[in-house]
Chain A
Amino acid sequence: MSEDRELYRRLFRTALLIRLVEERIIELYPSDRIQSPVHLSIGQEAVAVGACDALRPDDLVFATYRSHGFYIAKGGRLDRMFAELYGRVGGVSKGKAGSMHLSAPEVGLMGSSAVVASTIPHAIGAALSFKRHGNSRIAVAVFGDGATEEGVYHESLNFASLMKVPVLFLCEDNGLAVHSHRPVRQSYSLVKHAAAYGIASRRLDEGWDMLAVRRATLEAAARARAGEPFVLEIATARYKEHVGIGDDFHFGYRLESDIDAWKKRDPLIADKALVEELTPAIEREIEQAVAFAENSPSPSRAELLTDII
């Protein structure tokens, strides 16, 4: 097997794991065993997988409420993720975090926040610290295109550029903020806007292509590591509704045909043979994680008032 083929298989397996995990969430959700708003990343897996594979293990990722993909791609434990979704003590955060606040600091996934754009400056702070202490790590701020409309995004870009901190701004552009399309929200082009702050940027339209995402992130991360903040905007597609497990095409705010082109290129759909080959082992892994969650107890009353300060 060629090196490229091996790399493709590795990325594909992680992407398929993310998709099958989220499809399992869809199956479980009606049972109410997961009582947490879930923001599924089905359709967007290639971004998390390609980007995280391009990072060093000790590079930090600061994420959003739509973070199952980044949690898994950065190497977070699946059983503890399911336990977290179940609200059980075996969860990453003893059930206090749920789906919207996943983290796995041991593998470099720092906090995820439900408030749009709010973790962007955290990446700058970590990057500032890396620079102050003279190490070669980078911090990655992951956010959606909607987040770029928030004031703190603009403050963060300005400061990152001024201070030349090793930060990578990674924008997952799915074109939607809840149900609002990008043209009614933005008067700017993200990459041109970054240039106004003196920040180099690139837009990648082939967001379904894990290898292309990986290559683009490797290049962007190298720039960031050299103290040159970089904005990498990656086009992607959200197949499911904003929050929840359903399809929402019948509401008419978007059309299923809008994402047909993406589905045609989606390797997790197109590469049927590899899906078939890898699925059984992944399903077993998911079953074990779900069993771990099922068997983990709920937090006791004492947990209500611990870890506040």
Chain B
Amino acid sequence: MNVTAKKPQAATTRVLSYANALLETMDGALAEHPNVFIMGQGVDDFKGIFGSTTELAEKYGAKRVFDVPLMEEAMTGIALGAALVGDYPITTHIRADFSFLAMNQIINLAAKYRYMFGGIMSCPTLIRVVVGRSWGQGAQHSQSPQATFAHYPGLTVIMPATAQAIVDMYPQIINRHPGPVISIEHRLLYNLDFTVAEGHVPLTSYVARPGRDVTVVATSVMVVEALRAAQYVQDTAGIDSEVIDLNSISHPDWDLVAGSVRKTGRLVIADTSWLEYGVAAEVCRQVVLRDPSMLMAPPTMLGMAPAPCPTAKSLEDIYYPSQHETVDAILTQVRGADHGIDLPTERSMTEGYRRFRGPF
């Protein structure tokens, strides 16, 4: 592919898959910045992290794009060391779960370096981690660690939900963000096509769909789900949902969220991880701290069931919130539990992503 990260001309749009948006931004970063290099297990193989780094090693050489041994902690530390002397390393984990092996470097070192040294050290770097789901990813290939990482000051944690978010945010980060960034990419998004326009997704939250009846705050693939659900309730019940893509987990725009809730009085939160001590809980905390009287009803929260992820499809189907439940949550917020509107029959959200056929 011969592509660059340059934005399309004004008023033009194009269709771009999430994976190709990643490939385009990786390619653009390597082309524009000699100090950028990409390392990770398998970045130069024929699958290229699900198509996001394919053929970049051939194009830029093994000094810029290279495979590494199985060494998650050392890789992250090596990235930090290279960043300290002026390089910009991009590291990848084909499953977010493997980044847990790098927790020491991410939390004890990268997150603290600027502060701990009084601003004289900085380690700008991008850590890409991919969340698995469906096709039996199971307990150790499916975890979505945004709350874990965002808990620690010093890290910037983002969850791009669309190709637009990738092409807008990654160049901002690579060009000028001063600290370590963890981008949590969802595997189910990789194969989806998005309409990409001239735009600017900020490194914080934004309104993905304006509305007046209910606020839906969502993350990652749940933004796509929320937008589908918003369309459904619009079509079936005339309910006008405002969908906010939280987008930045570490630095959300809480004023935007609170302003929306003040307007609608109703709140649904849909996250890709567990609810306990998680992002949904934090959204509630922020809203309640500002003004609990904004809420006309207790918020509804959607996330994974409080268990490790089961492999059996019959269990996985009920482990994740479905389109059925997302629609029900919005309708219940606005019309009450006896809303009487027919729900979509889709129980398994993966029905919406038929192109994902595994194995990983």
Contact = CB atoms under 8 A, between A and B. Distances in A.
A124 B86 contact: no
A159 B73 CA distance: 12
Contacts of A119: 77, 109
Given A111-B84, A129-B85, A97 B74 contact: no
A93 B119 CA distance: 7
A18 interface: no
Given A101-B117, A152-B77, A121 B63 contact: no
A298 interface: no
Given A132-B37, A151-B73, A308-B153, A126 B116 contact: no
B118 interface: yes
A123 B69 CA distance: 17
A125 interface: yes
A95 interface: yes
Nearest to A84: B118
A308 B154 contact: yes
Contacts of A155: 69, 71, 73-75
A113 B108 contact: yes
B79 interface: yes
A152 B109 contact: no
A152 B73 contact: yes
Nearest to B70: A155
B291 to A, nearest CB: 24
A36 interface: no
Residue among A60, A93, A105, A111 having the largest count of chain B Cβ atoms under 10 Å: A111
Contact of A111 (B73, B78, B117): B117
Interface in B66-125: 68-69, 71, 73-87, 89, 104-105, 108-109, 113-121
Given A113-B109, A115-B108, A159-B74, A92 B79 contact: no
Given A155-B69, A158-B69, A309-B114, A129 B74 contact: no
A139 B79 CA distance: 14
Given A118-B109, A125-B77, A159 B120 contact: no
A115 B82 contact: no
B68 A115 contact: no
B119 A124 contact: no
A122 B77 contact: yes
B162 interface: no
B36 to A, nearest CB: 11
B80 A93 contact: no
Interface in B35-88: 37, 63, 68-69, 71, 73-87
A240 interface: no
Contact of A115 (B104, B114, B119, B178): B104
B179 interface: yes
Nearest to A103: B117
Contacts of A162: 69
Contacts of A156: 71, 74, 77-78
A122 B73 contact: no
B74 A124 contact: yes
A124 B81 contact: yes
A204 B108 CA distance: 32
B273 interface: no
A121 B77 contact: yes
A306 interface: yes
A118 B118 contact: no
B119 A152 contact: no
A66 interface: no
A308 B153 CA distance: 7
Contacts of B108: 113, 115, 118
B156 interface: yes
A245 interface: no
Contact of B115 (A92, A96, A139): A96
Nearest to B66: A163
B110 to A, nearest CB: 10
A151 B73 CA distance: 9
A91 interface: yes
B116 A97 contact: yes
A176 B120 CA distance: 32
Contact of B87 (A120, A122, A129): A129
A120 B63 CA distance: 21
A64 B315 CA distance: 48
B343 to A, nearest CB: 42
Interface string A109-141: 011010100111111111111101000000100
A132 B121 contact: no
Given A124-B74, A158-B69, A307-B115, A111 B85 contact: no
A121 B154 contact: no
A128 B78 contact: yes
Given A132-B37, A308-B153, A308-B154, A121 B118 contact: no
Given A93-B118, A103-B121, A155-B71, A121 B85 contact: no
B117 A126 contact: no
A126 B84 contact: yes
A94 interface: yes
A111 B116 CA distance: 9
Contact of A124 (B77, B154, B178): B77
Nearest to B111: A308
Given A121-B80, A125-B84, A308-B154, 11 more contacts: A94-B119, A97-B117, A103-B120, A111-B117, A118-B109, A121-B81, A125-B81, A132-B63, A139-B81, A308-B114, A309-B156
Interface of B: 37, 63, 68-69, 71, 73-87, 89, 104-105, 108-109, 113-121, 153-154, 156, 177-179
Q: Which 10 A-B pairs have the closest CB atoms?
A: A125-B81, A121-B77, A93-B118, A122-B81, A155-B74, A155-B71, A307-B119, A94-B118, A125-B82, A125-B78
14 contacts: A93-B120, A101-B116, A105-B120, A110-B121, A111-B84, A118-B108, A120-B77, A121-B78, A124-B77, A126-B82, A129-B86, A129-B87, A308-B114, A309-B154
